[in-house]
Structure 1
Amino acid sequence: MPDLLNKPDLILDKLFSLKDQVAVVTGGSGVLGGAMARGLALAGARVVVLGRNEARAGAVVADISANGGESMAVVADVSDRSQLEIAKSAILNRWGQIDILVNSAGGNIPAATIAPDATFFEMPHAAFEQVVSLNLVGTLLPSQVFAQAMVERNHPHGCIVNISSMSAIRAISRVVGYSAAKAGIDNFTRWLAVELAQKYGAGLRVNAIAPGFFIGEQNRDLLLNTDGSLTVRGQKIIDHTPAGRFGEPDELLSTLIWLCSSGSSFVNGVVVPVDGGFSIYSGV
């Protein structure tokens, strides 16, 4: 670090460049996942856009390529280990390594959400299991498959970034299944950070980002009316966000690149909120 401080022009390149690294982004065809895939590419990484929809994943790859980056689309379901193993083989055959895993795949389902005119007691447990599997198991399995490639290198090295949520740390009405799953991801992040570092060395790190409220495909109708105005729920969120607005997908990128780069080499097991202050505001 002292050498870098004497050469400020090298700080960005040495601490935050992802040049020659291979990054896998699950859910990379979504709004937030796509933004993160593009951001990693701009930082120099070769990016694998992994998702269930080949056309949408291909569109993200095309954007990355148009901006001079290297990328490939891989179709796989994060809840299917066999598909993930096939994906890993394809990645290693092309680029020979995996350095970064961003577990962005996830989401909610209506049946695991308590509607305003329903009660908790009516929620089918199968729906709860489904949304927990989508988010928590959908983070576990890619971590098992892709991190294995990290630890099997001559010098184990790699970085996992999980995607948490405000609902993991604050009680947010209605989204019971999603909240439980994301709380599990927070704990899993800390557990895996310890496990990998103790068994394979400090070159393996696991952290998470907890986004605040961003407009995506699944929550748009909950937060915005058809004319773009706020719904009642959307207004409540803005009222409890000191920044007074929703986040923009690109606002996740600096935190993501920091967590994936050598600039955070002594950061392990943390969950970083990127939320405009939502998580710290009492409402008073």
Structure 2
Amino acid sequence: MSHIDLSGRVAIVTGAGAGLGAAHAAALAARGARVVVSDMNGEAAERVCAEIQAEGGEATAIAVSVTDRAGVQTMCDAVLARWGRIDILVNNAGILRDKTFAKMDLDDFQLVLDVHLMGSVNCTKAVWETMRAQNYGRIIFTTSSSGLYGNFGQSNYSAAKLGLVGLMQTLALEGERYGVRVNCLAPSAATAMTNSLYTPDVLAGLGPHLVSPAVVVLASEEAPTRAVILAGAGAFEQAHVTMTQGVLLGAGEDVADRLLASLDVVADRAGEMVPASGEAQYRHEMSKLVGQKAVA
């Protein structure tokens, strides 16, 4: 079994002033990475940085909001000036504004999108050319089971988190030839953002440090790409966006009626696939058209 060694690597972790981000930063530093502890709360970032240094790690704290595009770029420029490279970006910063969609103010919907989705875009864009130029990069987006599967009262959060999966899918394709691997992490952990959602007994088994091994793997040289890894309570799973074999119904005025009658066949997961790209849907449907007769 190989030992993951991040010595010489430079990592930026956003939202690292507490909770998951702090645990991720500490885990990466323990493996030898030089870590940028980024958080909009500068005092919190400094505390985490000091804790890492006390354990013999190398870290620096930078106070910035991921929604501040210019500030994010300034952070990345400072990291390059100090350490000469950026190898790992962990997009972890986030907020909650939970309400049912009927009661939600659209400003709160927009704010959650701005922090989770556009905040991750801002940070990723700021490191993208650096990683391409050095032919190496590891980018981790923090998605959620709420985005993958839905969660009552979290329409804004769910939309942002699934948006990150789509972003990952395309950036993994675009980054592959440059050695940039892009993945998603869906954590289950007790943090300040989630403490009100679980009982104390449940929270006791959901330490953020139990998620961070997945970040270490996704930050490693041997990391996969286009993976959605779920982690919590010391357990790890993988989610997939799949496509069923479906059915060819052809044309005609009654196609909608036949589709309604065929939904069980369309949903049948036997032989389902994980498409290599969005083009796979087109190729799959055209192959049915060319090679098979429509179902009457």
TM-score, normalised via structure 1 length? 0.78
Alpha-carbon shift at residue 39 of structure 1 (Å): 0.2
Change (3 A) 1:229 1:102: closer
Match of 2:25 among 17, 22, 37: 37
Determine if contact 2:211/2:232 at 8 Å carries over to the other structure: no
Partner of 1:223: 198
Q: Which moved more, 1:245-254 or 1:133-142?
A: 245-254
Alpha-carbon shift at residue 229 of structure 1 (Å): 5.8
Alpha-carbon shift at residue 181 of structure 1 (Å): 0.6
1:152 match: secondary structure: helix
Determine if contact 1:166/1:279 at 8 Å carries over to the other structure: no
Determine if contact 2:210/2:232 at 8 Å carries over to the other structure: no
Spell out the pairing of 1:41-120 with structure 2 (5 A cutoff).
41-110=29-98, 113-114=99-100, 120=101
Change (3 A) 1:170 1:62: same
Aligned equivalents of 1:191, 1:170: Cα separation in 2: 21
Residue identity in the other structure for 1:206: V
Aligned equivalents of 1:189, 1:247: Cα separation in 2: 26
Residue identity in the other structure for 2:185: I
Residue identity in the other structure for 1:190: Q
Aligned equivalents of 2:138, 2:162: Cα separation in 1: 20
Q: Which has the larger radius of gyration?
A: 2
Partner of 2:280: none
Match of 2:231 among 262, 274, 281: 274
Alpha-carbon shift at residue 279 of structure 1 (Å): 8.0
Higher relative contact order (CA 8 A, sep 6+): 1
Question: Is 1:126 the equivalent of 2:107?
Answer: yes
TM-score, normalised via structure 2 length? 0.75
Alpha-carbon shift at residue 260 of structure 1 (Å): 1.0
1:37 match: secondary structure: helix
Partner of 1:168: 147
2:211 match: secondary structure: helix
Spell out the pairing of 1:117-156 with structure 2 (5 A cutoff).
120-153=101-134, 156=135
Match of 1:251 among 205, 210, 226: 210
Alpha-carbon shift at residue 215 of structure 1 (Å): 1.4
Aligned residues: 237
Partner of 1:241: none
Alpha-carbon shift at residue 41 of structure 1 (Å): 0.1
Residues 94-128 of structure 1: CA deviation (Å, up to 9, x unaligned) = 11110000000112124xx22xxxxx333222211
Spell out the pairing of 1:156-195 with structure 2 (5 A cutoff).
156-195=135-174
Residue identity in the other structure for 1:180: A
Residues 232-270 of structure 1: CA deviation (Å, up to 9, x unaligned) = xx8xxxxxxxxxx74221112221111111222xx1111
Residue identity in the other structure for 1:126: D
CA RMSD of aligned residues (A): 2.0
Determine what percentage of the aligned residue pairs are the same residue: 32
Question: Is 1:209 the equivalent of 2:188?
Answer: no
1:209 match: secondary structure: strand
Aligned equivalents of 1:202, 1:270: Cα separation in 2: 18
1:121 match: secondary structure: coil
Following superposition, which runs of at least 4 residues in structure 1 exceed 4 angstroms of deviation? 276-280
